[in-house]
Amino acid sequence: AGAASAVFPKTGPALLPPIASSEAFLAAYQDIRGRRFTTEEQEVAWAASLWPAAHDVRWEALHGAPQGSPDIVRAQVAERLRRANA
């Protein structure tokens, strides 16, 4: 659910949706499955939300195709890690 919360709106290069969108995705996921995340599951989900974008930024750097993605990741990394208690 965590990684999915970061890629559900993705249609191109490494982009992270706004924090509020990931938060809404995670809330809807929990509602549909009928059980809230434990604190640990919530932290894992927020940490996992960074992985796809970090992977895409790495790919762009390796292939010389930067598309502004590092700035997008940098703008959200602190808040996503705070929510991950990392």
What's the number of domains the chain is made of?
1
The confidence score (pLDDT) of residue 11 equals 63
Q: In the structure, what pLDDT confidence band is assigned to residue 83 with cuts at 50, 70 and 90? A: very high
Q: In the structure, what pLDDT confidence band is assigned to residue 45 with cuts at 50, 70 and 90? A: very high
Residue 66 belongs to domain spanning: 4-83
Which of 59-73 are b and which e, b meaning 16 or more Cβ less than 10 Å from the residue's Cβ?
ebeeeeeeeebbebb
30: region left, alpha or beta (phi > 0 left; psi from -120 to 50 alpha): alpha
The confidence score (pLDDT) of residue 31 equals 97
Q: How buried is residue 40: exposed, middle or buried, by Cβ count under 10 Å (0-12/13-18/19+)?
A: exposed
Q: Is the pLDDT of residue 42 over 90?
A: yes
- Cβ within 8 Å of residue 15, ≥6 positions away: 9, 53, 69, 72
